[in-house]
Amino acid sequence: MAIGYVLITTTPSKEHEVYNALSKIEEVVELTPLFGEFDLIAKIEAEDLNRLGLVVVEHIRSTAGVVDTKTLTGIKF
């Protein structure tokens, strides 16, 4: 299993819309609004790194209102 944390920057005033859209993605297991440089952080769990990458590119980055993302990947011990 692959785990990723995605730091998300949104268009100003679109935070709620992006939050609602991302919360419907099956692989997004946690979603938290933030103050500061980033607007949201999403924890993603996928069967492998390839699937994790597809979720980020095809679902998160393509969501209306998402301006930028930074993805950190990890592993389960």
pLDDT of residue 23: 98
pLDDT of residue 18: 98
CB 73 within 8 Å of CB 43: no
Spell out the domains of the chain, with CATH numbers in brackets: 2-75 (3.30.70.920)
Per-residue pLDDT of the chain (77 residues; tens, 9 = 90+): 899 999 999 999 999 999 999 999 999 999 999 999 999 999 999 999 999 999 999 999 999 999 999 999 986 67
Phi, psi of 42 (to 5 degrees): -120, 135
Give the predicted TM-score (pTM) of the model: 0.92
Which region, left, alpha or beta, applies to residue 21 given φ > 0 means left and ψ of -120 to 50 means alpha? alpha
pLDDT of residue 33: 98
